[in-house]
Structure formats: structure tokens, C-alpha cells
Amino acid sequence: MVGVSPPPRWGWAVVGGAFLQAGLVFGGLRALGLCLGALGGSFGAQAGAVAWVGSAAIASLQLGGPLGSALSTRYGARPVVMAGGFLAGMGFLLGAFATRLSHLYLSVGLLAGLGWALVFTPSLGAVSRYFPTRRAMATGLAMAGASVVGLALGPLIPLLLDAYGWRGSLLLLAALSFNLMVAGALLRPLDVPTESPRPPPARGQGGLRGLLHHGPFLRYALAFVLVDAGYYVPHVHGPARAQEVGCDEQRAGLVMAVTAVADGIGRVVAGLLAAHPTASLLRHLFAWSVLTGLALLLFPLGTSFGGLTAVGLGYGFCAGAIVPLQFTGVAEVVGAGRLLHAIGLMQMFESVGSLLGAPFAGWLRDLTGDFKVSFLAAGAFLLAGSLLILTLPSFFRTSRSDGSGTEGVPDPVPKGLELPSAPLSPPN
């Protein structure tokens, strides 16, 4: 039986679409954080109450991962991503007219966050299907969009806040978010192969339910619960740490900008290195996770602007390298057939670590009087998650897997992203 290869060179258009989607999702999330600072005075709310708008958006993004994967499996990536872009845009649009803080919880926190969930997981699945043998490289290029768009919006949002206020800024974010629909249109489905029926998976082994009984996947997900508990600490508390060692707001912002640039470079470099055919992807992931944990342990040594910038540069590069390998590694653990379900479920598990890690670091700061112990604890979380990666069977495999389902029984392939019975040749 002869399969149908992906359209020549269209795989790079899919990567471009995913690049824009990752940029608009995570760039929008960072821009939202800048807008939240201007909301307290408008609603007479404390910073903690306003911060829950951003937390609700993050929770909706991660907890909605299984929904995005399920809908993409049923209807295909393109319509789900376009629907998610519409919901994200409507969330910001309605938020611009909010008269109560509860309106922002529902519009920006719930609706926009849910829209992001419908965008992120299906777009990663689409990239993985088009690049079965160069998945890490393609994912790294796509995920670099988060850093590029985030850097562009970083200096723009303060200017918009000064000129138009938070309502005008949310309207701009709504306009940008509607472009997710355009980017989603680039996710053209792969041709359906002829005469390539797939046997149904064994009872209880397919879909989300089967993953809950998949030991290696559960350990992999738990590893990233621990990783996320430390991963976001510099993003949340980095500026405060910079001011703690004597940096003004401008220098603190520069430290974070350097970290963001290194993050974007790390995503691309890690993807290119992992694309080497003899490389073990999970070993790459383990190495980058350990290096990121060690970089976090070095943060207390950064007691000046130069020292903190050097540590931030190292942390940003290593932390960025984790991102594409994390999602690509799912295919190594469960097989490409269950990739969408696994990414969505893993995001839901990760939300525990990402939501609790930064508050725990803040509590340690209040308890000890500075951020030294907070960053040491964050590094310990990264190292603990790295050790769990060592327990995965794929880690010790001598030959590189293409993610074709060696450790899991594949599910039916998502509609519009069918894999041919013969191996797909990489796009030109």
C-alpha cells in the first residue's frame, strides 16, 4: 500500500502558521500581564485580585488542553484552531468593555484562555504530523514565535497603555488575536491515504482513558509538573530579584529582555541539535533540564546587574531549549498516534506545577526575607523532574525513534491529519 506524502514545501507554511500561533498565544499572555497592572485603579481592586485574571487565563489554557486535542481529533486541526482564534479575540474584545472585575475573569480569563487552548495543542499536533522525522527541529522553530512576538509586544504595550489606557490595549490584543484565525487557515490537512485501514486499538488502550493507565506517560507528565513548578519562577519573580540586588526598573527590564532573547535562541538551537538522526531526544531533554535547574541554583550568586544578566542569559537559553523537546518527547513516550491526546492531558497535569510554583516561591521569599531560597527551591524542582525522565524506557533506547508508537498503541489518527501507511517523507 502506497501512502501519500505531504504537499511539497507546505510543511514550512504549517510551521509558519504555528510560529504565529505560539507568538500570539504566549505573546498575548505576556502582554496581558502588562495590562493587568493598570486595572487595579480602574476597579479599586488589589493587585492580588487583578492577578487572578492572568491566572485564570493560564489555567484555561492548560486545563483546556484535553478539549483541544479531542476536538482536533474529531474535526481536524484547522477548524478547531480557527474557532479558538475567534474565541480568544472575542474574549479580549468583551474584556475591553468590562465594568466589573468579574467580567474580566469570564471574558479574558475564561473565554480567551479557552480559545488559546483550542489553538496551541492542535497546532503542535499539525507540525508533528508534517515533520515525523524532524519533529524537534520544526517544533523548535514554531515555538520560537512566543519569544519573537513577546519581545515585540513588550515595549509596545506600555506605549499603548499611556496613549489609550487598558481598554484600548485590550482592543489591540483582540485585533491581534483574531489573526489566529488566519494563521489557523495555514494548517492544511494532509491527504487521506487510500487503502490504509488501521486496526482499532485494544480495548482500554486508546484515547485519554488509555493514557491514564500508561505508566511511562504518567511519569513523563509528573516530571513536567515538577519542572513547571520551578520553570516560571524567574519569569514571575525575576524583576523583583533584580531590584532586590540594586537594579532600577530599566535595568530589571533589560535583564528580562536578555533572558527572553536567549529563550528564543535556545528553542531553535535545541530543535536543530535534536534533529541529528543518531541523537536520543529524551537524553537531550534530560541534559537541558539539568542545565536549567543548575542555572536556577546560580541565581542567588547574581548579586549585581552584570552577574544577574549572565545568569539570566544562561537560564533563558537552557529553559528555551526545553520547550520544543518537551512536546516532541511525548511522541517518543506514547507514539505519534496518541500525540494530540497526550499533549492535551500533559498540559492539564502541568497546570498544577505552573500555578503553584510561583506562589510557593513568593511564600519562601516572605518567610526568608529575600529570593535566594526561592530560586534554590525552583532549581531543586527542575532537577527532581529531570530524574523522572531517567525512568522512561525510551531514555535507554540506543537508536533514535521516529515517534511511531513504539511504547504505546496508537489511536486513530486525527481527522485531516492522517498518516499514510508508508513513512512520510519530510517536506522539502
- Residue 201 forms part of a structural domain: no
Q: What is d(CA 96, CA 103) in angstroms, rounded to the nearest whole number?
A: 10
Spatial contact of 74 and 23, defined as CB atoms under 8 Å apart: no
Q: CA-CA distance, 59 to 50, in Å (whole number)?
A: 15
DSSP class of residue 407 equals S
Q: Are 115 and 385 in contact (CB under 8 A)?
A: no
In a domain, 347, yes or no: yes
**How confident is the model over 324-380, as pLDDT tens digits?**
888 888 888 888 778 778 888 888 888 888 778 878 888 888 888 888 899 999 999
Q: Are 53 and 176 members of one domain?
A: yes
Number of domains in the chain: 2
- Domain limit, last residue, from 192, 220, 239: 192
Range of the domain at 79: 8-192
The answer as to whether 256 is a domain residue is: yes
The answer on 182 and 74 residing in a single domain is: yes
Is the Cα dihedral 152, 284, 133, 62 positive or negative?
negative
Residue 283 lies in a domain: yes
pLDDT computed for residue 377 by the predictor = 94
- 214, 321: one domain: yes
Whether residues 289 and 173 fall in one domain: no
- Both 280 and 406 in one domain: the answer is yes
What is the domain-level CATH number for residue 138?
Answer: 1.20.1250.20
- Residues 235 and 289 grouped into a single domain: yes
**How much is the average pLDDT of 204-208?**
58
Contact between 5 and 426 (Cβ < 8 Å): no
Q: What is the mean pLDDT of residues 104-108?
A: 90
Any domain includes 178: yes
253 and 337 co-located in one domain? yes
Please indicate, yes or no, whether residues 136 and 247 belong to a single structural domain of this protein: no
Q: pLDDT digits over 133-179, tens only?
A: 777 788 888 888 887 887 777 778 778 888 888 899 899 999 999 99
Residue 399 CB contacts under 8 Å (≥ 6 apart), including other chains? none
Q: Based on the fold, state whether residues 187 and 269 are members of the same structural domain.
A: no
Q: Is the domain of 43 the same as that of 149?
A: yes
Do residues 134 and 66 both lie within one domain? yes
Residues 176, 229 within the same domain:
no
Q: Residue 336 gets which letter from DSSP? A: G
Q: Is residue 351 part of a domain?
A: yes
pLDDT score recorded for residue 98: 87
The reply to whether 313 falls in a domain is: yes
Q: Give a yes or no: residue 416 inside a domain.
A: no
pLDDT bin (cut points 50, 70, 90) of residue 97 is very high
